[in-house]
Structure 1
Amino acid sequence: MNMEEHHSSLVVESSYPDLVINVGKVTLGERNRKKLQKIQREQEKAKVLKAACALLNSGGGVIQLEMANNDEHPVEMGLDLEESLRTLILSSNLQAFFKTKQQGRCYYIFVKSWSSDTFPEDSSFTPRICSLSSSLCRRSGTSVLPMDSREAFRFLKTKKINAKILGKEPLGKKPFGKVVKVIHQDLRNSNPTYQVFQKDQLEYGEIVPFPESQFMEFKQFSTKNIQEYVKNIIPRYIPAFANTEGGYLCIGVDDGSKKVLGCAKEKVDRDSLKKKIENTIYKLPCVHFCQSQCQIDFTVKILDVLAEGELYGYACVIGVKPFCGALFSEAPCSWMVKDKDICKLATQEWVGMVMDTDPDSTWLCKDFESQLSLSSGPPLSRPVYSKKGLEHKKDLQRLLFPVLPGHLKYIPESLWKELSSQNEGLEELINRQIHSFSQGILILSRSWAVDLNLEEKQAVICDALLIAWDSPPILYTILREQDADEQSYCTSTAFTLKQKLVNMGGYSGNLCVISKVLHLRPESNAESSEGAASPIDYPRSYYFANTQQMEALLQSLVIVLLGFRSFLSDQLGCEVLNLLTAKQYEIFSKNLRKNKELFIHGLPGSGKTIMAVKIMEKIRNMFHCEANEILYICENQPLRKFISDKKICHAVTRKTFMKDDFQKIQHIIVDEAQNFRSEDGDWYGKAKTITQRDKDCPGILWIFLDYFQTNHVECSGLPALSAQYPREELTRVVRNAHQIAEYLQSVLQEVRKNPPPNIPPGSLQMLLEADWAQGVQGTLNTKDNLTLNEIVTHVADTCKRLFERGYSPKDVAVLVSTTKDVECYKQELLRAMRKIKVVRFTNASDMSGDHIVLDSVRRFSGLERNIVFGIHPETVEPALLHNILVCLASRANQQLHILWLRDV
């Protein structure tokens, strides 16, 4: 049985609310392990290490072993297992990541998630994942030294920096040339290596006049299968030379006597030997850091070996130059659990995870505050940011999930009162479960599954998450009566919560979530169960010992519940999360079954489109919907395309909505509704009819709007303001930098004082409640009385400076008054931008590419960019000028340039 076959016996158990890997039988105890044959000892150790590596990289979990020995008393793990685990975590402190416990014949190894902040003194040199082997090696003197994962991380980091410095001229770009070319060219004439390999033949038995060195390795041909032998030694020596300073592998010279022995010609064909060597080198895994993606630079030379003037056989010399990237002997040995399968990471994937860092962006660091950094997060976590001036995760935690000394608080109180009044016996049931806990928080939800983006189970009355002192987290699922699928629901929800708290929320402590099902009988006869699987008794280190630990977990919970994929992700080219505000989360947490219709009025930059996306995700999970059963309606094609690309709904414009029939649609989300028109019919009436087709269970109809950004004077088709009920308001402006926000406030006041005739004046009073996030400095630049040439020159010069500072075309939008103006300005802008190499304009329907958006203010509604140029934002309706300016200014996150054309 080979090692991989032996590993296949590992099983990821599905009946626990944790990652549990069953490795089967393992012999434990130092005496017992010493009695094992070496091959069995190594096989057992290998499967334990594989499971440990997979769990460390996947958020932590439990290794379950069945003791193969028959000891009646508890035994230790065994020194060889302990030492291997220490090597895996690059630390002598085994307790930092592993705890053990024996329960009968079961032995458990509790594994905490890998996190570099466990080594704060050396975190900058600690890779983001752990590995059994990096499969990277280097040359040191006459030795080949394997790199552990920490050394590999430093090596890769240096290679990446060097490639960045060298740009398109990395080391090793020039062709290797003849094998006679040595590493140090200035020593060519005096170096005996050069003199020997200048030859095409060697004499059998002659002594090579130089020893092995940093640049030279001698090997003799195996007496068995020659090609197989060469295939096996190349991955050991060629990567080591390539990863260091280059060198030669000479096969056919005895490394002790330095005699040329070669290989008898009867045992090998020289052409097939050369081809086998070349193919073996080409198959070595490699990773590039340079733009040129240069290949491994090597040369193979087959030398004739003569005996008394006759051909005896052949020797072989392989010369390799330093490689600009990293050359591996094989794929790195690192494991991860993916969809309940234990998977080995591919080379490129491994390097990407080892080298993963926070986005390198000056403006991001300036405008946003890090809530979770990759340098301190578990392997699967992503960076999390909040806009400066908004609540930190600590503030949100203390606001939403406070832990009060000496109190056990039920949150949210309104939901607790509602559930208690609706379900007789519920209060007694829950109090009986938690009466022994004196400090902590019980977080109730109608469905924790929906909160975690899982499908709702309608038989569930509610779920309650207990975070309490001297206890691990406990997730209670309360049902009215027994259900065949109850335990799998509770287990799945608890499992997802645990994984998200670590892999999304960044919690790096010991963590489990215990799942418990409770039944509420009509006669208040409550009973509970913990499922068919025997519960694992977690060590005391998994229990909360103080308030700080509880708050740290709850801050991770804030990220899980309030985190959303930021629009910055597309700009930065990596996954970034932002956090909802407390008010956004309050609206998002509403019971959709009781809030089927809702109007959300939001000031510019208050996050309406983000909320629309989040609500559609919640609808999908709560009502078990497919994407084609949820309809998103907006006015403009660019916003429709932007939402459609997220593949969470069927997105259309209002015009398409009025033309087509939507038989499959159950739920509708309307965005930017202030810009809708009634010219094609009663869109609101049609939407209401569709969502109320099922009288017993009407669908969701949520409408997002902002009267301040109204861009026409026609009838919008919205019901009267008094009929827009129930209604919520988003008054916290979170998008714009301080200078832009100040300008926006002044323009909004002008709209409030002199609204267009189609805007209900009462709708604009919400401006009095506005709250502007402070802390982000930006740029506001308004220029009047410019010529066309001065305008395009300003845009070109500003873009050139911005791109030199690290911004990219995807940060910039140039907005004009109408779609007709786009073509008028495009050619002039292209002419002015010839000084910038990257010159490409596209309209707002293509937001994802690395180009400057050029479009009208109206078509850019609902979208955003860091830098916005507004060129002569005029309107044929004077009453709408300030509304257009509001729409223009609110699109800019950091810099706003408004350039007015001189009157002709």
Structure 2
Amino acid sequence: MNMEKHNSSLVVELSHPDLVINVGKVTLGEKNRNKLQKAQREQEKMRVMQAVCALLNSGGGVIRMEMANEAEHPVEMGLDLEQSLRKLIQSSDLQAFFETKQQGRYFSIFVKSWSSDLFPEESSIKFRICSLFSSLYSRSGTSVFLMDSREAFDFLKIKKRNAESSSGKEPSSKNTRVIPQGLHKSDPVFLVFQRDRFEYGEILGFPESQYTEFKQFSTKHIHTYVENIIPVYIPAFANTGGGYLFIGVDDKSKRVLGCAKENIDPDYLRKRIEKAIYKFRYFHFCQSSCGINFTLKIFDVFAKGELYGYACVIRVEPFCCAVFSEVPRSWMVKGKHICNLTTEEWVSRMMGAEPELTLLCDDFESQLSLAGGPPLSKPVYSKKGLEHKKDLQQLLFSVPSKHLRYTPEHLWKELSSQHEGLEELIKKEMRPFSRGIFILSRSWAVDLNLKEKQGVICDALLIAQDSPPILYTILREQDAEGHNYSTRTAFTLKQKLVNMGGYTGKVCVMTKILYLNPESAQESLEGPCSPIDYPESYSLADTQQMEALLQSLVIVLLGFRSFLSDQLGCEVFNLLTAQQYEILSKNLHKSRELFIHGLPGSGKTIMAMKIMEKISNVFCCYANNILYISENQPLRNFLSNKNICQSVTRKTFMKNKFENIQHIIIDEAQNFRIEDGDWYEKAKKITQREKDRPGILWIFLDYFQTSHLVCSGLPPLSAQYPREELTRGIRNADPIANYLHAIMQQIKKNPPLNIPPESLEMLCGAEWAQGVPGTLIIKEDLSLKQIVTFVADTCKCFFEKGYSPNDVAVLVNTTREVDHYKHELLRAMRKKRVVQFSDACDMLSDHIVLDSIRRFSGLERNIVFGILPRAAELAISDNILVCLASRAKQRLYILWHGDY
């Protein structure tokens, strides 16, 4: 089992707004380094290179070292260090990733995050992380080569493709090849291998080749010598078609020389070789878990009829995937430690494959691709038809052409009016900057999913021309923890700009603390600045650089983990809409209670999750202090799996006291009822227990999706204040969205009695993401047999195209009808060899969901079949259709059961 190894000789300094690694004392300067003994020079170089590798793979940062040698004048690093840096990035352009600066006895290397997009002309540079040593060997002709990162990437890509093309076969190395020359039974090498003895001095009848290697025994330290060549030649043969390693044969004369029996113990030699081979590491793209397949033979060597000694031959079979001589040497910063990646981590990060979105390509467009991105970045997609990150950047953070812009304007005006002297203080600080954007927030820490700090008036991020980004923290008065807060926030921002936002330029975030003395409006005290003196190249030179950084900031602020992540098996991010972001940016201290009316597919559940994360950080509370309430169990279960809150149904809420709860989020409130009591009044009482510090009560609802005719328990529409509206649909493909709009128009014209007509006026502002193809099929008057046959046949076609059962939901009108259809559906599915069903409570399983429309409220699937009886609940039939249709992202099939 591969274990992470920490390097205790390297220190990650935590008092800076950047990753800073202290490597201790290092001798610098070409002449000085040449005077060092080889062991010391290599030891110093290894410390520096490990730190460089870790920063390249972790978003960039700074390496600090103290010069071990005396130097009155500035010195260069040294040729051996520069050559190692070039080898690490496989480019002669050191300036693209490294800059150096000497200050007295201290020397700094500024490291930019690795990204291959800086070499567009070198299309072969595609590997996603840097490595000191790949541990992958290959055979070419009669030579063995250690693969560099570029070669390792290409090798692994081929192995992965071969494994995928042979999927479905029995996972065995025998499936991956035709027997190559050198391993065939008619080959002279194979025939020699069948013997059990050699004659001393005999000449073998074949030369070294792609499949044969001759080595003599060392005259000293025989076993150690053999143990050292095994990790080179055996993996090389395994990775490149197999072959034979002869030990005890002269490579020039092809004469068998062996090793004198007095100098070798054959049994001990066998154990040492086998032990060395068993240390190899393996990575499988296929379903196999096998290790290397080899045959080891110790041959007797006779001279004039007497036993002279021994020779050794190892026959190596081609390996199905990748054999590593040891764990690759590639480093990454993890928390406070610098860790060597495991073999599995290394391959996964090296390949960095885009998630399989081929079936969803019509729905989504890429906002941030892994290709050329920083090593820790994740793919970001948005629904087609929504704003691209460039559009969002222009909408939220546009850079003016000739002045400094303060944004958001409403917050700038609010803060200026609330805090006397704040406007003068900030404008004084901004005088040196003529162009850029000053982005204010009540807490940049909360925006970055960190805890809010008391006493912070506001934070502001300056993105200005000819300046690095600067994070300003304005405190009411001096605070010993203020510097730590500012440093931690800036550090997180810098890391996220690169590792989440995908920014590939040189970037740092400087910090500056300002104090606003309430007794003297004009007095300000400048807090400690960042002690790191970054090179000029870390300043933003022009509009293009500023906008590129701000687009990464858009991903940081608006990105959220997509529900697709669980389905795809890798982390994928989506972006909030500008409308969603503006609501989530509200000051929670002033928006304690809020009603959010959202049209179908507008992302209310996503909003509920995001606001609970923000509540946790703003009020420094825990998951057991936040309560999420829904009407149905499946939605409750879905939120419970996120571990951000307690999650209950309305019925459970009405039965218990919830002593620890401070904040409540209610979802799909239009379908609540008062049969167990006044849930709204109870929620208000809980969140207002502490009169001086009331909690949050946010209620999400959509009257168009009301699925019953009784009282919901919501206050009158006039009392639902303050109120916000989500009018942009982001879920449904065009045909489904158009159908939804038409049905909602009918509801607006003739609403059920329990829905306030004024609430439906928001339909006038409705808009849906356009340009997303999809399917809407409505079939009338079908028999039960026709319905189940259609569902089974259609599912079979989708599964043959690559869709999976967890893409599909079959929804019926009521829970009573589930059993009515289940038996017939199962029988039809078995005939088509299609998989089993589960109810909506088991949403994350790889099954087709079969449940009622009501119980599937708040959830979604790519493909939805709706089975409806003609005579059911005519008064709210349109509402039921909205509930059904809004659950389908790509394809919707409405099947009317005529004889039910």
Shift of 1:269: 5.0
Matched, 1:527 2:524: yes
Q: 1:465 aligns with which of 461, 469, 477?
A: 461
CA distance 1:231–1:187, change in 2 (3 Å): closer
CA distance in structure 2 between the partners assigned to 1:176 and 1:437 by the alignment: 63
Hey, what does 1:804 align to over in structure 2? 800
Letter in 1 for 2:228: N
Q: Conserved in 1, the CA contact under 8 Å of 2:172 and 2:288?
A: no
SS in 2 for 1:893: strand
Hey, what does 1:88 align to over in structure 2? 88
Matched, 1:721 2:725: no
**395-404 or 213-222, which moves further after superposition?**
213-222
CA distance 1:477–1:31, change in 2 (3 Å): same
Hey, what does 2:181 align to over in structure 1? 184
Letter in 1 for 2:821: Y
Hey, what does 1:771 align to over in structure 2? 767
Matched, 1:495 2:501: no
CA distance in structure 1 between the partners assigned to 2:796 and 2:179 by the alignment: 45
CA distance in structure 2 between the partners assigned to 1:863 and 1:580 by the alignment: 18
In the TM superposition, what whole-angstrom CA distance separates every residue of 1:375-426 from its partner, at most 9, and x where no partner exists? 0321111111111111111111111111010110100111111111111111
Letter in 1 for 2:847: H
CA distance 1:758–1:187, change in 2 (3 Å): closer
Q: Conserved in 2, the CA contact under 8 Å of 1:206 and 1:259?
A: yes
RMSD over aligned Cα atoms: 2.2
Shift of 1:726: 0.7
> Which residues in structure 2 correspond to 1:482-631 (within 5 Å)?
482-522=478-518, 523-531=520-528, 535-631=531-627
CA distance in structure 2 between the partners assigned to 1:261 and 1:182 by the alignment: 30
CA distance in structure 1 between the partners assigned to 2:278 and 2:183 by the alignment: 30
Matched, 1:417 2:413: yes
CA distance 1:273–1:733, change in 2 (3 Å): same
CA distance 1:432–1:333, change in 2 (3 Å): same
Q: Conserved in 1, the CA contact under 8 Å of 2:456 and 2:474?
A: yes
Hey, what does 2:54 align to over in structure 1? 54
Letter in 1 for 2:240: T
CA distance in structure 2 between the partners assigned to 1:873 and 1:726 by the alignment: 40
CA distance in structure 1 between the partners assigned to 2:495 and 2:215 by the alignment: 50
CA distance in structure 2 between the partners assigned to 1:835 and 1:330 by the alignment: 50
> Which residues in structure 2 correspond to 1:185-224 (within 5 Å)?
188-189=185-186, 191-222=187-218
Hey, what does 1:429 align to over in structure 2? 425
Shift of 1:130: 1.1
CA distance 1:33–1:186, change in 2 (3 Å): closer
> Which residues in structure 2 correspond to 1:4-43 (within 5 Å)?
8-43=8-43
CA distance 1:713–1:187, change in 2 (3 Å): closer
**635-644 or 38-47, which moves further after superposition?**
38-47
CA distance in structure 2 between the partners assigned to 1:103 and 1:573 by the alignment: 48
Shift of 1:835: 5.4
Q: Conserved in 1, the CA contact under 8 Å of 2:62 and 2:111?
A: yes
Hey, what does 2:102 align to over in structure 1? 102
SS in 1 for 2:490: helix
Shift of 1:900: 1.2
Shift of 1:480: 0.9
CA distance in structure 2 between the partners assigned to 1:266 and 1:884 by the alignment: 90
Hey, what does 1:867 align to over in structure 2? 863
CA distance 1:222–1:422, change in 2 (3 Å): same
Shift of 1:271: 4.5
SS in 2 for 1:138: strand
CA distance in structure 2 between the partners assigned to 1:710 and 1:131 by the alignment: 57
Shift of 1:669: 0.5
Q: Conserved in 2, the CA contact under 8 Å of 1:380 and 1:504?
A: yes
Hey, what does 2:246 align to over in structure 1? 250
Q: Conserved in 1, the CA contact under 8 Å of 2:5 and 2:339?
A: no
Letter in 2 for 1:429: L
Show structure 2 runs of 5+ residues with no match. Answer: none
CA distance in structure 1 between the partners assigned to 2:778 and 2:735 by the alignment: 12
CA distance in structure 2 between the partners assigned to 1:863 and 1:43 by the alignment: 57
Q: 1:814 aligns with which of 810, 813, 823?
A: 810
SS in 2 for 1:444: strand
**203-212 or 612-621, which moves further after superposition?**
203-212
> Which residues in structure 2 correspond to 1:64-79 (within 5 Å)?
64-79=64-79
Matched, 1:702 2:693: no
Shift of 1:527: 3.4
Hey, what does 2:648 align to over in structure 1? 652
SS in 2 for 1:132: coil
Identity of aligned residues (%): 71
CA distance in structure 2 between the partners assigned to 1:193 and 1:124 by the alignment: 37
Shift of 1:826: 2.3
Hey, what does 2:163 align to over in structure 1? 163
CA distance in structure 2 between the partners assigned to 1:124 and 1:794 by the alignment: 48
Task: Give me the TM-score of the superposition, normalised by structure 1.
Answer: 0.96
Show structure 1 runs of 5+ residues with no match. Answer: none
SS in 1 for 2:840: coil
SS in 2 for 1:21: strand
CA distance in structure 2 between the partners assigned to 1:875 and 1:451 by the alignment: 50
Shift of 1:208: 2.6
Letter in 2 for 1:119: F
Q: 2:354 aligns with which of 355, 358, 370?
A: 358
Matched, 1:900 2:896: yes
CA distance in structure 2 between the partners assigned to 1:195 and 1:23 by the alignment: 56
CA distance in structure 2 between the partners assigned to 1:854 and 1:277 by the alignment: 58
Letter in 1 for 2:249: V
Letter in 2 for 1:295: G
CA distance 1:298–1:684, change in 2 (3 Å): same
In the TM superposition, what whole-angstrom CA distance separates every residue of 1:96-122 from its partner, at most 9, and x where no partner exists? 111111222221111111112111123
CA distance in structure 2 between the partners assigned to 1:815 and 1:534 by the alignment: 58
Shift of 1:186: 9.3
Q: Conserved in 2, the CA contact under 8 Å of 1:6 and 1:43?
A: no
Shift of 1:266: 5.6
SS in 2 for 1:764: helix
Q: Conserved in 2, the CA contact under 8 Å of 1:204 and 1:306?
A: yes
Shift of 1:822: 2.0
**736-745 or 783-792, which moves further after superposition?**
783-792
In the TM superposition, what whole-angstrom CA distance separates every residue of 1:184-205 from its partner, at most 9, and x where no partner exists? 389643x321222111222334
Q: Conserved in 1, the CA contact under 8 Å of 2:869 and 2:897?
A: no
CA distance 1:521–1:592, change in 2 (3 Å): same
Shift of 1:674: 0.7
SS in 1 for 2:451: coil
In the TM superposition, what whole-angstrom CA distance separates every residue of 1:318-375 from its partner, at most 9, and x where no partner exists? 1111111011111111111111211111001110011112222223222111110000
**206-215 or 94-103, which moves further after superposition?**
206-215
Hey, what does 1:331 align to over in structure 2? 327
Letter in 2 for 1:54: A
Hey, what does 2:63 align to over in structure 1? 63
Q: 1:824 aligns with which of 820, 823, 840?
A: 820
Letter in 1 for 2:892: L
CA distance in structure 1 between the partners assigned to 2:876 and 2:803 by the alignment: 33
Hey, what does 1:734 align to over in structure 2? 730
CA distance in structure 2 between the partners assigned to 1:5 and 1:295 by the alignment: 23
CA distance in structure 1 between the partners assigned to 2:860 and 2:750 by the alignment: 26
CA distance 1:627–1:568, change in 2 (3 Å): same
SS in 2 for 1:872: strand
CA distance in structure 1 between the partners assigned to 2:278 and 2:169 by the alignment: 22
SS in 2 for 1:120: coil
Q: Conserved in 1, the CA contact under 8 Å of 2:629 and 2:664?
A: yes
CA distance in structure 2 between the partners assigned to 1:733 and 1:499 by the alignment: 32
**672-681 or 363-372, which moves further after superposition?**
363-372
Q: Conserved in 2, the CA contact under 8 Å of 1:172 and 1:297?
A: no
Q: Conserved in 2, the CA contact under 8 Å of 1:563 and 1:580?
A: yes
CA distance 1:237–1:411, change in 2 (3 Å): same
Letter in 2 for 1:673: A
Letter in 1 for 2:734: H
Q: 1:305 aligns with which of 301, 322, 329?
A: 301
CA distance in structure 1 between the partners assigned to 2:822 and 2:300 by the alignment: 68
Hey, what does 1:794 align to over in structure 2? 790
CA distance 1:170–1:241, change in 2 (3 Å): farther
Q: Conserved in 1, the CA contact under 8 Å of 2:247 and 2:313?
A: yes
Q: 1:377 aligns with which of 364, 373, 380?
A: 373
Letter in 2 for 1:17: P
CA distance in structure 2 between the partners assigned to 1:303 and 1:559 by the alignment: 65
